[in-house]
Structure 1
């Protein structure tokens, strides 16, 4: 027996070039905190999810937030809240431009110095941003004397200015300008997907990657291979289609019925939007495949959402947003990754102000006390905190009178005056600057067809008004959480 063992050892040494027997392979050491991949779409409404099997698969693998809303159904205010974790009344960004909005205001108020990107970068994350930033940002712009400006907090920066057409745009690629034309290979969402895969493949862990697509924002440009998909598809026609709510607010009350021409345009818009999100879905699938191939999938949180929703015919409104209706403020939020139970639906009211503190908590950081939102990680355990908010805030300045704004409402789209809204899991309460009030009991009236504000008991109306005023005035996580807790 001993002789045979000696022979076996000699043979092993001969076969390995007389070297020592190979050590068993050691598993790669995972970073302490997960990577984060955040896909943010533009104007994606809930009714487009049925055309995105990749998002449905992500939901099966993780958690969906059934009461997730934005702080304003408008690009720049919403994205400002996402970057900072703050309401518009704390970022100062209420519109896409002018004295109360846009990139200029966001920058002047020094919001860029305290975003989730600056926090994660300081914590050792490799941070990458690509696609759409904030309205008014120009890739070749000079800001504070810095040409081809890149905001603080980002290791990689591949951002366009006007990329809504998906072609003929310029990218700021880490301070270098890249001009893209109209070839199929220039299709912006696909270009972003390729850059994102490169970041995942080459970045040292941990990394944070945001891909902010322009799709499916108008003009709803699909990728070449998707132009013929969904032939005959029409805009959904539920009971709110081409129907005014009872006791509609003044900005909406006189809207005429949709004409056949308008309805045809709405059908075309919905079909093109369904086509446009196909490239987003493929991107999500390819990013998850890349995470698998690089061995990073088990330690990466993938997040999918939209900056706001969109209406197409509901409440007699032609294509647009900016209202407090569910079509505009209620958007998808899906997360999958370590620590997130697969196939779960979380009903607690969540907002886009919660994303920044969530990203920071995942990175092992304590969010700054000035952040208005709250980390969603405490909801993943299945035993959510008892003091979680019960109401969310929407803040909007209007009407939009800037025809240069890419979100300037076209005729019939709806252009509400300034309002603030309180949204619970079952009701929506809106106060307009002209004194108009709306109240929709969504538990009985999910499509918001009956404004019952006039019949609210005085005590209930006073309670809602007090809660809304408290949220409008809150600053910081503790105060905003307390202000967002109300009964009923």
Structure 2
């Protein structure tokens, strides 16, 4: 899920005046609605494993929704931390970044770094345009402040003026934070609680950047609400009795479920109790994040730059808790795991509106770059969201998003596949549109869910499709999973 504040002047940066909208070139707003800075600021807050059913417990984010545009079909390219974050940084699908998992030769920080992906991100593009850039919190799985990389310890990738990044911060305490090329150790005192530390550093960065009269880009990437979902001490008793939502998919198997899912047993009462406890802790842990949003917005107002700032709130992927008889986890092609809210608020953006456009996390990097007036490489698979922000028609946007997944074996070093409850499905690729989800597994199994009649994805009707329809779906999915750069736009319109 993402929230973005975008100034109207930035809309004019997207394309030459007079460009008409088509499926191959979405409409561009060229007339600013209100005056803003030539180079607006961007504040991007990214949560970890946040499912959309936690939104009702975040009043600051709800306030942001009422002041901007909500994207109802924002889909991540891979429902796993590192591949998704790599796509966010670069605007490229996992099959093009080479980051397909959290660790190993095709995953984690190692794959991103060795593949040269750090040299071409939204951070490097904005820094080249004079932006002060800051990265805070979680970078990519496998990064550690204690490691020497490229002769640096801690290592700071290209594109970042300020670097306040933690290696393993999931517990919220007892971590090492890389402050540029120095290490700051933090213990287990309340003042060491990671979200609060990042909130303070973020507001200070806003204050100093505004005082320097420089445009800035701040990303605060959290470990929250990823397990163990540690709340701040002040929130440990919040939401007493709160239970996980019981949607129609809770403890239910889809008809004609694929083999890996069909063998899941019904949840026991003890397992349901554990699911409720985990959901409650996730909601508690997000309270400090919600407070952070409010503090950042207040800091922007005090610094006099609120009207010229874009705020982005989001998640790298969704999360299931009991749906489809699955306990805690992600990585499936179900909407619980791949569809997360995107909300954009700010001057020039339609307020209180909802867009049904098929947007993806690969669209964030080119959006940030267009905001800052930076060029977007033809290698980028995504597309700037600026044409949609003033309430322009969704009909000029792509109609399908690609979801990729590489099976990950259990590993003690991977927080998402370490032998716990999470299940990593077999390899698959999927098409997600506003009317259906189509999945092809490497084993040959397939799924098709009609989202118009079956929004909770409880009836796999692939067996009812004719040969011509299946051929069309296969060809469309093949084009997307092999696409590169500019060709991904046309491939996204099957």
CA distance in 2, matches of 1:284, 1:129: 16
Partner of 1:375: 384
Deviations 1:319-359 (A, max 9, x none): 00010010000012112122212111111000000000000
Pick the aligned partner of 1:113 from 95, 119, 122. Answer: 119
Task: Answer yes or no: is the 8 Å Cα contact 1:252–1:414 preserved in 2.
Answer: no
Q: Deviations over 1:29-50 (max 9, x none)?
A: 9641210000000000000000
- Could you tell me how far 1:401 is from its partner in structure 2? 2.7
CA deviation vs aligned residue, 1:128-148 (integer Å, no higher than 9, x gap):
010000000001211122221
Q: Equivalent of 1:485, from 483, 488, 493?
A: 493
Q: For residue 149 of structure 2, what is the aligned residue in structure 1?
A: 143
Q: How far off its partner does 1:240 sit?
A: 0.8
Assess if the C-alpha contact under 8 Å between 1:387 and 1:485 holds in 2: no
Match in the other structure for 1:418: 427
Go from structure 1 to structure 2 and tell me whether the alpha carbon gap of 1:324 and 1:125 turns closer, same or farther (over 3 Å shift). same
Given that 2:154 and 2:181 are in contact with CA atoms closer than 8 Å, whether structure 1 keeps it comes out as yes
Offset of residue 409 of structure 1: 6.1
Q: How many angstroms apart in 2 are the aligned matches of 1:450 and 1:400?
A: 28
Choose which of 454, 457, 474 in structure 2 pairs with 1:465: 474
Structure 2 distance, partners of 1:142, 1:339, is 44
Q: Is 1:57 the equivalent of 2:66? A: no
Q: Secondary structure at the match of 1:345?
A: strand
Q: Tell me how far apart the structure 2 counterparts of residues 483 and 444 of structure 1 sit (CA, whole Å).
A: 26
Distance 1:93 1:413 in 2: 20
Q: Could you tell me which residue of structure 2 aligns to residue 26 of structure 1?
A: none
- SS of corresponding position for 2:46: strand
Displacement after TM superposition at 1:414 (Å) = 2.7
1:96-151 Cα distance to aligned partner (Å, 9 max, x none):
00111100000000000000000000000000010000000001211122221000
Contact 1:255 1:412 in 2 (8 A): no
Shift of 1:458: 1.6
1:37 aligns with 2:56: no
- Find the partner of 2:400 among 391, 405, 408: 391
Mapped to 2, the partners of 1:247 and 1:465 lie a distance apart of: 19
1:450–1:95 CA distance, 2 compared to 1 (3 A) = same
Query: 2-side partners of 1:354 and 1:131: how far apart?
Result: 22
Q: Do the aligned partners of 2:170 and 2:224 also contact (CA within 8 Å) in 1?
A: yes
Match of 1:319 in 2: 328
What residue number does 1:304 align with?
313
- Aligned to 1:285, which of 279, 294, 301? 294
Evaluate the alpha carbon distance shift between residue 300 and residue 419 of structure 1 in structure 2; reply closer, same or farther with a 3 A threshold: same
Residue correspondence of structure 1 range 417-456 to structure 2 within 5 A: 417-456=426-465
**What TM-score do you get using the length of structure 1 for normalisation?**
0.92
Residue 411 of structure 1: CA displacement? 5.4
Greater gyration radius: 1
Matched with 1:265 is 274
Identify if the C-alpha distance between structure 1 residues 399 and 281 changes in structure 2 by more than 3 Å, giving closer, same or farther: same
Question: Do the aligned residues in 1 keep the contact of 2:317 with 2:339 (CA within 8 Å)?
Answer: yes
The 1-side partners of 2:380 and 2:38 are apart by 24
- Equivalent residue, structure 1, for 2:201: 195
**Aligned-pair distance for 1:459?**
1.6
Greater relative CO (CA pairs within 8 A, separation 6+): 2
- Using the TM superposition, give the Cα deviation of residue 410 of structure 1 relative to its aligned residue in structure 2, in angstroms: 4.6
Maintained 8 Å contact 2:148/2:154: yes
Distance 1:220 1:380 in 2: 33
Find 2:173's aligned residue among 158, 167, 172.
167
Q: Does 1:227 align with 2:256?
A: no
Gaps of 5+ in 2: 1-34
1:172–1:264 distance in 2 versus 1, CA, 3 Å: same
Q: 1:97 aligns with which of 86, 93, 103?
A: 103
Give the secondary structure class of the aligned counterpart of 1:200: helix
CA distance in 1, matches of 2:413, 2:222: 21
Consecutive unaligned residues of structure 1, counting only runs of 5 or more, are 1-28
TM-score, length of structure 2 as denominator length: 0.91
**Is 2:149–2:155's contact at 8 Å kept on the other side of the alignment?**
yes
Give the match's secondary structure for 2:329.
coil
Residue 129 of structure 1 aligns to a residue in which SS?
Answer: strand
Residues 409, 415 of structure 1: 8 Å contact kept = no
**Corresponding pairs, count:** 457
8 Å Cα contact 2:353/2:391 also seen in 1 = no
2:72 aligned with 1:66:
yes
Structure 2 CA distance for aligned equivalents of residues 337 and 198 of structure 1:
22
Deviations 1:236-281 (A, max 9, x none): 1111111111111111111111112211110100000000000000
Superposed displacement of residue 387, structure 1: 4.3
